[in-house]
Amino acid sequence: MINLAVDCMGGDHGPRVTLAACRQFLNSHPDAHLLLVGKAEELAGFKHERVTVVPATEVVSMDDPVEIALRKKKDSSMRVAVQQVKNGAAQAAVSAGNTGALMAISRYLLKTLDGIDRPAIAFGLPNAKGSDTTMLDLGANVDCTAEHLLQFAVMGSALVSALKNTEAPSVGLLNIGEELIKGSEVIKRAGELLRAAGDAGNLNFYGNVEGNDTFKGVVDIVVCDGFVGNVALKTTEGVASMISGILKEEFKRNIFTKIAAIIAYPVLSALMKRVDHRRYNGAALLGLRGLVFKSHGSADAMAFEHALNRAYDAARNNLLDRVRSRIAAAAPLLLAAQTESGTSAP
Amino acid sequence: MINLAVDCMGGDHGPRVTLAACRQFLNSHPDAHLLLVGKAEELAGFKHERVTVVPATEVVSMDDPVEIALRKKKDSSMRVAVQQVKNGAAQAAVSAGNTGALMAISRYLLKTLDGIDRPAIAFGLPNAKGSDTTMLDLGANVDCTAEHLLQFAVMGSALVSALKNTEAPSVGLLNIGEELIKGSEVIKRAGELLRAAGDAGNLNFYGNVEGNDTFKGVVDIVVCDGFVGNVALKTTEGVASMISGILKEEFKRNIFTKIAAIIAYPVLSALMKRVDHRRYNGAALLGLRGLVFKSHGSADAMAFEHALNRAYDAARNNLLDRVRSRIAAAAPLLLAAQTESGTSAP
């Protein structure tokens, strides 16, 4: 039995979306049990034999500052959901709430794994091969050292190997050119560490990749600092939504283009399905002593269900143990890197 | 009369593309004169009353290291073209050659303007408003200080005001959130400097923008360091080419989708025209004592002509004077920023 704790109050839509997704998820996962966390009166109507309601009296809002979420709202649905993981009642928690608050609460309650300085956010972006490329960090860490980037690579490898059942997913270092001499000092040093980890058999290191390689599916995992990752993620959203906006505008231009839209509909919907961001919902917060998944705040029921699926797969495939054992295997290298650079955090 | 020096040998296609573009450009610009730089035998066939051939015996290849381009190939078409600007024979130079070499040669021959530590590469990306958003730096500087970002903002404002005839184009600082407290220390400090420049009337500073805002057209100019800018630019290319690849694939799937493609053709070609990267060709190398424009290496004649148009507009609208006078106006602020941070370059 896989137990997941669900923050039912998080996100832009709250229980209306999260409960619908939970019902769907339970139907397709007969060995799953859900702990629905939230206001008792809003969850009371949800009856299912594999569901337990865990009451929480407060809700972290999308614009609550991290301090408020962490220090004032101690009985928030988000915090109580993460607490279920800490207690061992659930193997993973899922929330569509405010990312900063979720990261802070998860870090505070669960703590980081040995050998990890900083948790990271990892997410799969669609690629031209019809699969997805996992990128991390996507915004948890704005300034990163080379050692952090190595830790991200190790954690990302564990995530992809758990979700896709591959032993040695390939890792690329996001850079501004393929050549070794490209990039900042931190990136060049990260390249050295990643190559050493590859040589030692801890990683399947491909080398440098550029911004467009993510979408070609050149590697399984792209590693970068949280500032660059966040810009790349939002750039992706921006370009995709500009193109879809132009397509809609052009198809609505006159009666002929409207007819063309009807005829081209199956093709356009196939396109939309392949790049539908809802299918890629569910970012992993990696590096913690427990599994936490973040859904997009604006997720609808289908998207939230994808985040639940991802958390379920991660729990079922022992993501936590995989991260732990990969970190342990890379420990001598991480330690050497930290000793060499004099510190583990800047 | 506007004189442009054209590196006819640069880019993936050389004279075949550059000469066709020059002919087209001369037809539409009756007050333009071109200095065609390259191998005499390859340019001899090109006759036009407003053209002068300037022979150069060497060519910088797309994969020449910067040192080779700069120190060994002293009679390269790229270098001789930039030299025409230095001599005063041309108001601007245009090349489709290797970016690193062009930046190094331009910097070496022309030097940077007073008040500018580092030149930057600026480029206009299409946005949903049907216009373009100018982004800089796109890869010339991997590590930037807050002062560099302020200089980029001032230079970018001069560029957009010259190319679009607007007095106070708006500037956004690329960040991972709109709030002032977001981002790295460098970004937060840059935000302070940009706000001070806005308050002093040197800039029209909008505030922080995120990766997707570039494509919404929220601001005229987006400022970032060259690493982030390069990743964002290549991410844009990657997403756009993935979507167009999927569209092609889906339209070719079977006989019905092929018919749909024919019927939808006018719409698809309108879309392609609006996001056609060829129309956005021509990046400006800013901060030098002379105008240099870089065309994409793979440019066809239409794209290269756009780069020529951009150089022409910049020369005609006195971009160099505009950059100089804006930098002079912002000089007290730049100086104060440099004194405060103890240094002008890291």
Across residues A289-305, what is the average pLDDT?
Answer: 94
Query: Which chain A residues have a beta carbon less than 8 Å from that of B258?
Result: none
Q: Residue A65, CB half-sphere, CA atoms under 13 Å: how many?
A: 8
Above 90 in pLDDT, residue B346?
A: no
Answer with the residue of higher pLDDT: A164 or B278.
A164
Residue B345 pLDDT more than 60?
A: no
Asked which of A147-151, A288-292, B178-182 is least confident by mean pLDDT, the reply is: B178-182
pLDDT in tens, B4-17: 999 999 999 999 99
Rounded to a whole number, what is the distance in Å from the CA of A179 to chain B's nearest CA?
11
For residue A197 the two structure tokens come to: 């980890």
Confidence of residue A181 (pLDDT cuts 50, 70, 90): low
* Tens digit of each residue's pLDDT (9 = 90 or more) over A202-219: 899 999 999 999 999 999
**Percent of chain A topping pLDDT 90:** 62
Burial (CB count within 10 angstroms: exposed 0-12, middle 13-18, buried 19+), residue B244: middle
Cross-chain residue pair B266–A256, CB shorter than 8 Å: yes
Instruction: Starting at the earlier edge strand, list the strands of the sheet with B291-294.
Output: B51-55, B32-38, B2-7, B92-95, B291-294, B283-286, B120-126, B132-136, B221-223, B170-174, B204-209
Residues of A in contact with B246 (CB under 8 A): 128, 271, 274-275
Calculate mean pLDDT across residues A294-322: 93
Q: Which residues of B touch A275 (CB under 8 A)?
A: 242-243, 246
Flag whether pLDDT at A331 surpasses 70: yes
| DSSP state for residue B56 in the 8-state scheme | -
Residue pLDDT, tens place only, A81-98: 999 999 999 999 999 999
**Which among A75, A41, A34 is positioned nearest to A57, based on CA atoms?**
A75
Q: Which of A214, A256, A264 sits opposite B238 (nearest CB)?
A: A214
pLDDT at A342: 52
pLDDT, average across residues B305-312:
96
Residues B167, B157: contact at Cβ < 8 Å? no
How sure is the predictor about B340, in pLDDT bands with cuts at 50, 70 and 90? low
By Cβ distance, the residue of A227, A250, A274 closest to B246 is: A274
DSSP string for A201-252: TS-EEEEEE-TTHHHHT--SEEE--HHHHHHHHHHHHHHHHHHHHHHHHHHT
Q: Which domains, from first to last, does chain B contain?
A: 1-113+287-317 (3.40.718.10), 117-278 (3.40.718.10)
- Say if residues A247 and B271 touch (Cβ distance below 8 Å): yes
Q: What is the mean pLDDT of residues A67-88?
A: 95
Rounded to a whole number of angstroms, the distance from the CA of B188 to the nearest CA of chain A is 12
Nearest CA in chain B to A213: B238
A9-22 mean pLDDT: 94
- Is pLDDT of A180 > 70? no
Q: Chain A closest CA to B267's CA: distance in Å?
A: 6
| Predicted model pTM | 0.88
pLDDT at B327: 87
Which strands form A92-95's sheet, in the order they lie side by side?
Answer: A51-55, A32-38, A2-7, A92-95, A291-294, A283-286, A120-126, A132-136, A221-223, A170-174, A204-209
Could you report the per-residue pLDDT of B59-97, keeping only the tens digit for each? 999 888 889 999 999 999 999 999 999 999 999 999 999
Instruction: Considering only the beta carbons, identify the residue of A228, A239, A260 that sits closest to B267.
Output: A260
Chain A nearest C-alpha distance from B40 (Å): 34
- Confidence class for position A250, pLDDT limits 50, 70, 90: confident
ipTM for this prediction: 0.86
Non-local (6+) Cβ contacts of A15 within 8 A are A8, A9, A38, A42, A43
- Are the Cβ atoms of B231 and A127 closer than 8 angstroms? no
- Between the two ends of chain A, the Cα-to-Cα distance in Å is 42
pLDDT bucket at A344, cuts 50 / 70 / 90: very low
What is the pLDDT, as a whole number, of residue A216?
92
Band the pLDDT of B181: cuts 50, 70, 90: low
Residue among A98, A129, A176 with most chain B CBs within 10 A, to mutate: A176
Q: Is the pLDDT of residue B211 over 50?
A: yes
pLDDT at A171 > cutoff 70: yes
Query: Does B237 sit within 8 Å of A232, measured CB to CB?
Result: no
The string of pLDDT tens digits covering residues A110-160 is 999 988 888 999 999 989 888 889 999 998 888 899 999 999 999 999 999
Residue B337: predicted pLDDT? 73
pLDDT surpassing 90 at residue A178: no
Length of chain A: 346
